[in-house]
Chains A and B, each alone.
Chain A
Amino acid sequence: MTQPAPAHPPHNDPSAAPRPIVTLDHVTKRFPGVVANDRVAFDLFPGEVHVLLGENGAGKSTLVGMLSGLQTPDEGGILIDHREVRIASPARALELGIGTVFQHSMLVPSLSVADNMALGGPWWSRPDRAGVARRMAQVCADIGVTIDPAAKVGTLSLGEQQQVEIVRALMRGSRVLILDEATAMLTPKGAEDLGALMGRLTRLGIAVVFITHKLNEALSFGNRITVLRLGRKVGEIAPERLAALGPAAATAEIIRLMFGTDAGAPADAAPRRARPGAAPLLVIEGLAVDDPAVPVERVDLAVAPGEILGLAGIDGNGQKQFAEALAGQRPLRAGRITLAGTSLERLDVGARRAHGLRYVTDDRLGEGTIGGFAISLNLLLKQVGESPFWRAGFDQPEAIAAHARRLVGEFDVRTPSIETPIGKLSGGNIQKALLARELSGAAKAVIFAKPTYGLDVNNIRATRQRIREAADRGLAVILISTDLEEVLELSDRIAVMSRGAVVGVVENDAAARGRVGELMSGVTA
């Protein structure tokens, strides 16, 4: 993925100027207090992957919303085949041949694939399951995927669900396919498959809009790249120019467009070095966890103080189960956990935390925080009842507020007030609050689960800096990530998890990338 192969030039005949299918004619969309899209102009050509790049809040989702009928522009117009149209609803977008695959699956889990495809017909008619299956087989053959029409959607992986959505959009005659943050939930392999699929779609003459904030994906999958910043279109790189620039120059150009500076070179990627010879601080022996999906078996790991142990692997290979069992959220079947000489395996979450074990969850809104509660309380979520914030069971508002003010300042959480419900903050600020909660106080070892998942580039950099600092303070760090680049950038050693077991641990040296890749893909070294 680091060597983005420039996509094939889509137009064989450069002399004939291609006609765009869809044109956004300087559209503006305002929400209370913000201009989400400010006179954005945007053309979509058939047979082209048009990448829409930008940080969180740059206006990508709004633009997609206007194309897919969820929102209508306040000013400016949308032209399809040079005729002005109004896309007032998702149904209208479909009629006009615009299909959207949203970041969060838009399929009904309890219905079968065929029923999902049939959804939306006249109310008292019978869903034409056989017909759907036939047409589906046809489209699947065209674009080279296999899907069982009778399978219940809830049993499919996220990648398969996306394929279903793409097939559905094509079956409805979509000429334009919008993929909104489609790779955010996928494994690296799943993302590559999707990239290949996009290539096949363009060869059928489909116009693909691919929204992402990952540079490498933009370069490897895209033909044309548009960059948004703060609601404005700040640049477009046409296919010819993209091919001419080459990956390195294109990267520099895009970073300049996205952040307005040249200082966007990747953070110093030199691997850190742990203090050699230190005795392990956190020792995990023979850890096993029962789970209906992915049971975890015999995990043995040892992490020295100041060391970052990366835990790489494709998502869903037991990382979550392992982390939750380590933190005490889930019972162990067997195994021992020792932190600084103390056995933790029989303790509950609170006691493990009191001994210095911390867990930064990747599910920030689902379990990490309570959206409706004030930041000040969320910062103490794991210490409810502890002195000095509670005395004899009663709240101590001054102590709670002082604690919150200190952490908000130290961790640079941008918030109107410490009483603001945490759910109103941006993802980056919620992550800062979580880091503040887990890294403050007498921490000895920290587990980070996918710490930069869903964040924009600035917050990714800030979060990685926090991880390094934590290790520099002498903490034992376990970094769980599905992003190989991240693991390679931060770790001292890398363990690889596959099907619930650690299949190997390697030093992070020059050969690490290849060996980790082999281990991840199941090739036993």
Chain B
Amino acid sequence: MSALFTDAFLTSLVLGALTAGIPLMLAGLGEQISEKAGVLNIGIEGMMLFGAYAGFLVAYHTGSIWLGFLGGAVGGMAVAVPMAVLCIRMGLSQIVIGIALTLGAEGLTALLHHFQFAQSYPRLPAVETLPIPVLSSLPVVGPALFDRPPIVYLAVLAVFVTAYVFRATQFGLALQAAGDKPAALDAAGVDVVRVRTIAVLITGGLAGVGGAFMAEVGAGIFVPFMTNGAGFIGIVLAMQARGKPLWVLCGALLFGACLSATTALQVAGVSIPTDVIQMLPFAAVLTVLVLFGRKASLPPALGTHYVRGAR
């Protein structure tokens, strides 16, 4: 076994976990914000995918990675807007509209890709990294963790910012109230629809950046359906994390490690199908559920439409 855990293997594993985990983390974080505010955002897969497409498109045409991420955020929000209008303002079923938006984004991005890039399949150049002094020269984890593109540090920072917002700002309290007891928030003079709309838009932005990360940093290319369920994994992460952003980070890295373990194993000279490793995180979460049977603590108003004056 000791031959397996070479430095090369470990570096490759940690690097892969981070690269695959960051998009999942952004999706999970976004979903957590929506869910806290009482919106079950099944459309997040579509937001990620559209963000991946838009991010790639902008980065490809402008040559700027940062504009690409901005494009990804805007793309994700573009899918979040119909969600906000249809579900939060008009009160349509969040599950139906969420699935519709995911299907629509899948179809639309595949169509657009077909008409624009299907002949050429252009690639983006590799993203430049920003080595953090001292830390990046640590053995094994140094290059994998501290010699990464700046967006990685920003994404991790977003976890702590979110945790701070939840715990110590009025907006955090408002999110909590919107998911737990929207009528109370309304009575306190805060517009529930506005809080939820902003939550869903933030979700769209984060998921869109996550998608753009997959296209720009992870793959360097856009291919149809490339998010491949990452948004749904985000939903799983958010529900398991019970409102704690840090748990989303941990979960995302675990999932990321499993998703990328195959590559790392190949580096170590072991070849097993990707699918075996990909089963691990789900098997782990399900085992935890079976062994401890803890009830997912979801906000009481999750998935329901708020109408003033109705009980």
Contact = CB atoms under 8 A, between A and B. Distances in A.
A107 B184 contact: yes
A91 B189 contact: yes
A426 interface: no
- Between A102, A108, A118, the greatest number of chain B beta carbons within 10 A of the residue's beta carbon is seen for A108
A118 B173 contact: yes
A188 interface: no
Contacts of A108: 176-177, 180-181, 184-185
Interface string B243-261: 0000000000000000000
Contacts of A90: 186-189
Contacts of B180: 108-111
B120 interface: no
A90 B190 CA distance: 9
Given A90-B187, A107-B184, A119 B173 contact: yes
A381 interface: no
A181 B185 CA distance: 21
B166 to A, nearest CB: 12
B309 A89 contact: no
Contact of A70 (B170, B185, B309): B309
A124 B187 contact: no
Contacts of B119: none
A116 B177 CA distance: 9
A125 B170 contact: yes
A65 B310 CA distance: 12
Given A65-B309, A108-B180, A121 B185 contact: no
Contacts, number: 74
Contact of B183 (A106, A120, A123, A124): A106
Contacts of B176: 108, 110-111
A127 B181 contact: no
A94 interface: yes
Given A91-B189, A111-B180, A126-B169, A119 B309 contact: no
B100 to A, nearest CB: 24
A125 B172 CA distance: 10
Q: Is the interface of A mostly helix, strand, loop or mixed?
A: loop
Given A119-B174, A123-B169, A109 B187 contact: no
Contact of A119 (B185, B299, B311): B185
Nearest to A125: B170
A104 interface: yes
Contact of A123 (B174, B177, B184, B311): B174
A255 B111 CA distance: 73
A409 B53 CA distance: 65
A102 B170 contact: no
Contact of B170 (A104, A109, A118): A118
Contacts of A121: 170
A101 to B, nearest CB: 10
Interface string A421-454: 0000000000000000000000000000000000
B283 interface: no
A119 B181 contact: no
A383 interface: no
Interface string B275-306: 00000000000000000000000010000000
Contact of A109 (B171, B181, B185, B190): B181
Contacts of B168: 126-127
A100 interface: yes
Given A108-B181, A120-B189, A120-B190, A115 B173 contact: yes
A263 to B, nearest CB: 34
Interface in A80-97: 89-91, 94
Interface in A241-262: none
Contacts of B174: 119-120, 123
Contacts of B181: 106-109
B189 A94 contact: yes
A119 B180 CA distance: 13
A462 B151 CA distance: 70
Contacts of A123: 169-171, 174
A120 B171 CA distance: 9
A459 interface: no
A122 B172 CA distance: 11
Q: Classify chain B's interface size.
A: 20 to 34
A123 B176 CA distance: 13
A107 B311 CA distance: 14
B308 interface: yes
Contacts of B169: 123-127
Looking at chain B's contact residues, the main secondary structure is helix
B125 to A, nearest CB: 38
A127 B173 contact: yes
A463 interface: no
Interface in B144-165: none
A71 interface: yes
A111 B174 CA distance: 10
Nearest to A122: B170
Nearest to A112: B173
Contacts of B311: 104
Contacts of A115: 173
Contacts of B189: 89-91, 94, 120
A310 B295 CA distance: 38
A111 B170 contact: no
Contacts of B308: 70
A111 B173 CA distance: 8
A65 B185 CA distance: 16
B308 to A, nearest CB: 7
Contacts of A70: 308-309
A514 B301 CA distance: 45
Contact of B184 (A65, A106, A124): A106
Contact of A124 (B170, B177, B185, B186): B170
B173 A106 contact: no
A401 B68 CA distance: 65
Nearest to B179: A110
Given A91-B189, A121-B170, A123-B170, A116 B184 contact: yes
Contacts of A125: 169-170
Given A107-B181, A108-B176, A119 B170 contact: yes
A509 to B, nearest CB: 42
B309 to A, nearest CB: 5
A378 B232 CA distance: 38
Contacts of A104: 183, 311
Contacts of A111: 173, 176-177, 180
Interface string A347-367: 000000000000000000000
Nearest to B182: A108
Contacts of B188: 90-91, 119-120
Contacts of A89: 189
A467 B176 CA distance: 45
Contacts of A124: 169-171
A89 B177 CA distance: 18
Interface in B177-213: 177, 180-181, 183-190
A94 B190 CA distance: 12
A345 to B, nearest CB: 28
B49 to A, nearest CB: 30
12 contacts: A70-B308, A110-B180, A118-B170, A118-B173, A119-B185, A120-B170, A120-B188, A123-B174, A125-B169, A126-B168, A127-B170, A127-B173
Given A123-B169, A123-B170, A124-B170, 7 more contacts: A70-B309, A71-B309, A104-B183, A104-B311, A106-B184, A108-B181, A126-B168
3 closest A-B pairs by CB: A91-B189, A120-B188, A119-B188
